[in-house]
Amino acid sequence: MKLLIVLAMLAARAASVQDLSGKMLTFPLQTNQARVRLVTPKQEFRALTVCHRSFTDIKRDHGLFSLSTSGSSNSFLIFWDETNKEMEAHIRDQKSEFRGLDYKPNMWHSICTTWDSATGLVQLWFNGRPTIRKYVPVTSAITGSTMIILGQEQDAHGGGFDSKQAFVGMMSDVHMWDYVLSSCEIQSYVDELNFTPGNALNWKALEFEITDKVLVEPKSSICH
């Protein structure tokens, strides 16, 4: 029993703050355990922008960014629905679907998702191109104890993981702001130019905790 407890403690590496510039998180296995928990000091969001880059070849449903609170397991979820070929944004369990995206395998994609409680509008920016804006009936703040997970989709606060929805691939440049980023700032992020880092999650000063088989590696690039 003591050995099992020690192994469990080793499996989850303690949260630490690191500059991940030029690095990526590699999720090499389909499992319901491998994940990265991101820590934010903010516990109330009246608006949000989440940007990330991902690279995968999986052809099934998978979660890309999962933020839950004690009141909602899908407070802010970005999810690919393979059956309907759509990227979904869930805001406090209210879903918006975005179709017609060229979500090709084996290449990097930059995805930014915005939501504003003042208007109820949600929008996706896929590789720098905006989708239409959609309305969700969520016009109050996201509040409560926040749990942010990469690599798994939370069906319960901090848990309820399903290997059939796990992300397998690489992820990088995850930022989160507690406001709606301007179109020019989003374009700067996509083009990897100077932009204002996230004030809720900052890839250059990221507090995170790895559980199970997830690796921090130099971001792969094509040599010419």
Place of tokens 């979500």: 103
For residue 13, the model assigns a pLDDT of 61
pLDDT-derived band at 3, boundaries 50, 70, 90:
very low
In the chain, where are the structural domains located? 42-213
Integer Cα distance of 181 and 107 in angstroms: 25
CATH number of 42-213: 2.60.120.200
For the whole model, what pTM was predicted? Answer: 0.91
pLDDT in tens, 29-43: 999 999 999 999 999
Which conformational region is residue 91 in: left (phi greater than 0), alpha (psi within -120 to 50 degrees), or beta? beta
Integer Cα distance of 91 and 73 in angstroms: 10
Q: How many CA atoms lie within 13 A of 222 on its CB side?
A: 4
**116-132 mean pLDDT:** 97
Nearest to 142 by CA among 40, 47, 38: 47
